[in-house]
Structure 1
Amino acid sequence: MALQEAVENRATILIVDDLALTRRQLWDILTEVGYQVLQADSAAKALEIASSSIPDMILLDIVMPGKDGFQACRELKTFPALAEVPVIFISALDETSSKVNGFYAGGVDYISKPYEKEEVLARVKTHLSMRQLQMSLKNSNTEMEERVHQRTAELIAKHEQLSNLFKQVRHAKIQWEQTMDCIDDIVMLVGADGALIRCNKALINFTGVDSYQDLLGLDWLKLLASCGLDLARLSNRAQELFHESSGRWFTVKWYNYADKNGAVIALHDMTAIKKVSQELTKAYDELKSTHRRLVQQEKMASIGQLAAGVAHEINNPMGFISSNLETLGKYAARLRQYMSVQDEVIKGVADPESLEMLAEARKRLKIDYLLDDIPALVAESNDGALRVRTIVQNLKGFSRTDMAEMELADINDCMDRAVNIAWNELKYKVNLTKNYGELPTVSCYPQQLGQVFLNFLVNAAHAIDRQGEVTITTRAEKGYVSISVADTGCGIPQGNLDRIFEPFFTTKEVGTGTGLGLAISYEIIQSHGGTIDVESEVGKGTTFTVRLPTENPVQEGDL
C-alpha cells in the first residue's frame, strides 16, 4: 500500500482554470502531498500541454472564456493518448444537468466550488487508484490474450506434428514388419523402460541366441553391453562404436517411437566404409605433404636457376671493378709521390709570388684533401666490392654451384662465427645469451650453415625494436644436434608462418629485406638432411629450431 501511495503521489495532474487564484489553491493542495502539477488558463493551452506531456489526471473548470470545460473534455478525449486520462470537473455550478453533461463529455467526477482540501485529495486519490487498477487490468488482459494466442498456435503446431508422427509411425510399423528381417543392419524396437519389444535376425546372429523369443523383454543396453558394445553414454544422435571382439565398426542411431514411449534402435555395420575412409584420409594427407614439398622444391629450383644466372652476370663486371680499384689505388699512391717531388722542385726554382699562386690554387682546388681522400674512397669501394662478392657467393651456394667441400665441423664454432659477423646488428639493442651444449662434429658445409645462423641472428635483431633478448641454445639429441635461436621481438602473425620460407616473401619494409634469407636457409637445411621449424607469437617473440643428423650424414653428391 505504501508503494502504491508513493506511485500515486508522484502522478502528474493538469489544472485547467482561467482563474489564477483557483489554480494556485489547487496547486498548493496537490503539491503539498507530492503530486506533480501542470497549469493551463484555457482549453487551448490545456490541449497544448496535455499533447506534449501526458498527465495522469486533469482537473478541468467548466466555465471558461472561449471553449468551456465540456468542449475541452470532448476534444481531449479525441486523442488516443488522452482518451484514458481521468477528467474531474470543477465548477460552482451544482445543477444536476451540469454534472450529467460532464459525465457525457467524458468526465469521471465532479468537485463543486467552494471545495474542501480533504474532498479534493480524496477524489484525486480515488480516481488515480482506479486508473492504476484499470491500466493493470488492461495490461493483464493484453498479456493474457497474447499468451492465449501463442499457446493456441503452439497447440495447433503440436497437434499437426503429432498427427504427422502418428501417420509416419503407423506406416513405418507396416513396413517394419515386412522388411526388418530382410536387412543386414541390427534393428530393435524397445519400450520406454528399455525392454526389447521386437528385433530382426541380425541381432539374433550378433548375440548368438537360438531364437527371437530368447531376447524379448531383455534390457537392450545390457544385452549389447554383454556382447561388447557399451551404449549407455550415447546421446540422441548418430555415433560410431568399435566392437573389439569382431573388429567391426557400427554407426548407432535411435529414433523416438510414436509418443516417445519407445525407440527404434539401428546399428549399421560400417567397417568397410571406415577402412576406406581411413585409407583415403591417409592418402590425402600424404598427397598434401608431397604437394607441399614438390611446390617448395619447384620454387627453390626456379630461384636457384635465377640465382645462378645473376651470380654469373655479376661476377664478370665485379672482376673488372675489383681490378680497377686496386690499380686506381696504386695510381693514387704514385700521383701523391709525384706531387711531393714536384713540390720540392718548385720550391727550389720558383719565385715567391709564383709559389704563393700555386699554394692558393692548391688550397682552392683542395688538392691535399683529394690526395688524402682517394685512398679512403678506394678502400670503401673495395669493401663494397667484397660485400657484393659475398652476396654472389651466397647466390652460388643457393643455386648449388661452386660449393666448398664437406667437412666435419663444430656447430658451436659455426654459430660463433655467425655471431661475430652479425655483432654490429646486435650489440646496441640485444642482450645475447649462449647456452651451448657439448656437440658431436657434423659432416656439413660450414659456410652454408653459418649463412643460416647469420640469417636467424639478423632477423632477430630486426624484430627487436629497442632492447630485447636473443638466446642461442645448442644440444645433442639421439642422432641429431639441435640449434635454436629465440628472440623477444615483435613476433610473426599466424597467417604468415606458412609462407615465411617461400622465396621473396617478406614482412619487412621495402629496402630492408629481399625475402630470400629464410628461403635459402630452408634449402640449405633440407640439403643437409635436417629440419627447420619456427614457433612465434605476436608481441612475445620467435624461435627458429634446426635439427641436423649426425649418424648418417649426407654425401657430397647428394647436395
Structure 2
Amino acid sequence: MTLDLAPLFVSALLYLLLLFVIAHATEQRWLPVRLTRHPAVYVLSLGVYATTWSYYGSVGFAKDQGLLYLTIYLGVTLAFVLAPVLLMPILRLTRTYQLTSVADLFAFRFNSQASGVLVTVLMIAGVLPYIALQIRAVTESTVVLTEHGSAPQVLAFWFVLLVTIFTIIFGARHASPREKHEGLVTAIAFESLMKLLALFIVAVVAVWQAFGGLRGMHDWLEDNPEVVTALYQPALEGPWASLLILAFAAGFLLPRQFQMIFTENMKPRHLLTASWAFPLFLLALTLLIPPILWAGMVLQPNTSPDYYVLGLSLLSGSPSLAVLAYLGGISAASAMIVVTTLAISSMVLNHLVLPLAGLQPHRDLYGALRWLRRVIIAVIITAGYGFYLIMEPTGGLVGWGLISFLAIVQLLPGVIAVLFWSRATAGGFIAGLLGGMMVWAFAVLLPPLSGSDAMTWMGLSPSDAAGTPEVYQTATFWSLSLNTFLLVLISLLSRPDPQEREAAAACRELAPLLPAGDLRARSPQQFVEQLSSVMGSRAALAEVRKATRDLGMDWDENRPNHLYGLRSQIQRNISGMMGPVLARMIVDERLRVDNESHTALTQNVRLIEERLETSRTRLRGLAAELDRLRRYHRQIIEDLPLGVCAVAQGGRLVRWNPAIVRLTGIPVTAVLGRRLEELPAPWGPLLNAFLAAETDNWHKQSLESEGRQRWYSLHKARVEEPGGRQRNDKSGETVLLLEDLTDVQRLERELAHSERLASIGRLAAGVAHEIGNPVTGITCLAQELRDQTDPDEVQAYADDILTQAQRINNIVQSLVRYAHGGERQIRQETAVDLHDTVAEAMRLTMLSRRARHLRFENLVPVSHQVLGEPQQLLQVFVNLLTNGADACDENGRIQVRSSATMDWLDVEVIDNGSGIPNEAMDRILEPFYTTKPPGQGTGLGLPLVYNIVRDCGGDLRIASDLQGTTVHVRLRRAALPIAVGET
C-alpha cells in the first residue's frame, strides 16, 4: 500500500495549521490558563528533545547497536536527576540575569563577547547537521509512503518553507527572546503528545500483526534467543560512557533544550516536576522501540530499520495509521527546527549581528529587532537545507544526530566551570572550546561532508566508517580531554579581571552584583534621557517603564539604592533582548556612576544581607562561622530595644531596626534609601537637626507624637573605617540611637512632685508661724478699728490690715507655686533671672522653723540669667538651701554666689554646716539614699537636683569637708557676654 503525495501534503499542511491554531488560542487566552500553564504542558514541551532521530532512527540504532540506543535516553535522565545541583542553578542564573541562550550564559560568566561569539558559531555548526537530519527524515519518510512523486529536494524545499513560515509567525512575534512564547510551548507540548501517541499506536498494531499480542511476542523471543542476544551483545563492549556523556550534555545544552528548560520556564517548581516526569516520558518512548524492531524483523517491511515505523503502518493496510505515523514524524522534525532556530536566532542577533552592526538610535527599535530575527530564522533554516543538500545521504539518522551531540558536548567543561570553578577565565574557556571544536570538526564533521578519512591518527583503521559509535567514542575522549586540559591550563596561567570575578561569584551565588559609586541619574526620567541616545526615545521609555513595573517602583522615585535596583533591572531586561555583554556596555556607558564615591558598600549592606538570607548556597568552614557571627550581630541590632538607624554619606538611611519602627510608626520599606529630611514630621526635622548638631547627645527632647507629648534621648556615633581610623568629615557614616524616655520623665516628675510635697510638710510649722503673726496683727488692728471714728486713723488701720493680708497672700502664693506639680504639655526653656530665683528660694526655705534663724546671703548679680524652666530651677535652689539649712546649727550661714564666662554661669551654694561624710560622697546622688535621721529626709532631693541640672544641659559637683559643703552648679547662660571679671 502507498499513499498519494497530495493528500499527504495536505495532511501535513493541516497539521501545521492545527499547531498554529493551538498556539494562537493559547496566546489569545481562548484556552484556560490553568491548562496552558500546567506543569504537564511544560514537561511535554521538553519532549522537543525527541526528534526524528528518536522517532525513526532509534529503531535502526537499536538494530545495529542493541541496547546502546538506551544511552540517548539514560544520559538525559541523568541530567534531570541532577536537576537540584545542575539545572536549578542554571535556571536561577537565566531568570535573575535574563540570559536567553547558552551563549548568553557563557558571555555573562566570562564577561566576554568573544565567548558568546565562539559559542554561537559552535551552535550554528552543531545544529545545521541536526536541522539537515530533520529535513532528510521528512523527505525520506515522504518517499517511503509515496514511492513516487517529486524529487526529495523539492519535498524538502516545501517542508522548509512551511516550517519557516510557522517559526517566523510564532518564534519572532516578540522583539526580545526574554518574552515567553506560551503559544509555542503549548504547540510543542501537543506535538510531543502526538509523537508518543503515534508511536504507541504503531507499536500496538505492529505487535498485534506480527505476534498476535504481547503473549505471542514473548513466545517468539523464547523461540529466537539469538534476537535477544543481538540486542544485548553490542552493549557489552560498546561505548556506553561516551554515548552517555553525549546525551547528558545534549539533554540541557542543545539550543532547543536550553530554550524550553530555562528560557520558556514559567515557574521554577515546574523544573522540579520535570526532573522526574520528563524521564518517565522518555521511558515511555524507549519501551516502544524494541517491539517495533521485533515486529519489523518478523513482517519485513520494504524499508530500512530507520523507517520501520512507517513501513509497519503501511503493512497494516490502514491509510489513517500511515498518516498518523507520518504526522508523528512531522511533529518530531518541525518541533526541533522551530525551537532550535528560535534559540539560534537570538544567539546570532545578540552575539554576531548587533556587535558587528552596532546599536544606533532607532525610531522603532523593537520592529527592527523583530525583522532581524525573522531574517536570521529564515537564513538558519535555509542553511540547514543547504547542509542537507551537500551531506552524503549515507549512514543512519543517528549518525547525523551524533555529529550535533559531539559539538554540544564541547560546552560541558565550560558549564562545570560556570557552576563550580570560579577560577576559570575567559581565555581558558575560549582556548578549550577551540581545541575541542578542532577535534570535532576534523574527526566527525569533515568526513561526511568530504568523504575523506581523518581518523587514522586517532587509532582507528580506515575501514572504520564515520558515524559508528567507535568513532564517536574516540572523538569524544580526545575532544573533551583537549578541551578540559586547555581550559584548566590557560585559566591557571591567566588572571580573571574584576568583572569576571564578580560574575563568577554571582554564578556560584557567593555575592550579588553590586554597584560601585553614585549614579548620575537621579530619577527614572533621567534614565530615559540617557538611554535615548543609544536606543531611541521610544525604546528607552518602554524599557525604563517596564523595569519600574517589574520592581513595583513609582516614576518619581529618587532613592539611590532603589535607582541602583532600577539600573540593574534595566540591564537585565536589555540583556534578555540584546545579550549580557552588550547590555552591560550600554548601561555602563549611558547610566554611568561616579566611581570615586565611597558610599557603595554602605548603601548595599542590606542587599548583601538579603542575598545571604535567601541564598541556598551552604557556607562551610570559616565562611559559615563568619556568617553566623554576622547573623548574631545583626540580630543584636534587630532585637535592641533602642531605635537604631544608620545614615550613609549624603544623609541616606541604610538601617532602620524594628524598635525605631515601633517608635516612629514608619515602616522599613518607606525609609531605606531616603534622606533624613524626607522623613515625615516630626521625625525628619528632628533626626536631621541632630545629625547636623555638634554634640553627640541630646537629652530629653520633647516631641509631639500622636497627640501626646513624649520625650526622647538621642545619641550618635561616627562609624570608624577598618583599622580604627575615624572619619574626620561630617559626611561619613553615622549611627543614630533613639531612646524613649517618656515613662522615665513622667516618673521623675511624679517623684519631684512628691519631694515638693515633702518639703511643704517640713515647712508647715514655719508657715503656720509666719501666717500666725500677720493674722494676730490683723485681729488686733480690726479690734482697734472697730472703736475708731477718726477717718485718718481708720484709713491708717485699713492700710495696715491690707499690708498684713498681702503678707499672708505672698506666703501662700509662694507655697502654691512651689507645690504646683503635674506634667507640662510643652517644655519651654526661657531666660530665668537667677538673682530673683535664689531670693524666692531663700524666702521659701526661711519658712522652715529651723532655717528661720539662719543667715542667708544672695550674692548673685542681678544681671545673671540662665536658660531653663523657672519652676525646676526654683526647686533646685530650694532643695540645696534646705539641705544646707539642715546641716547648719543656730549660727549657720548659707551663701549663694555666681560667676560668668562666655557661655556659662557657675553658681556656688556654700554652707558652714557639718559637711558630708567621706563614705557617703559616692552615694549621695543615688535616689532614696540619705544621711539624715529616719523620718527627716526622703533621699530624693539631690538626685532630683542632679537630673534637673543635667536636663538643662548643665553640670553638678559637690565638695565637702568639716568646714562645710559647697555645691557647684554650672548652668547655660542666657544673657549676652559680659565683661571679663564680672561676678
Structure with the higher strand share, 1 or 2: 1
Structure with the higher helix share, 1 or 2: 2
TM-score by length of 2: 0.17
TM-score by length of 1: 0.29
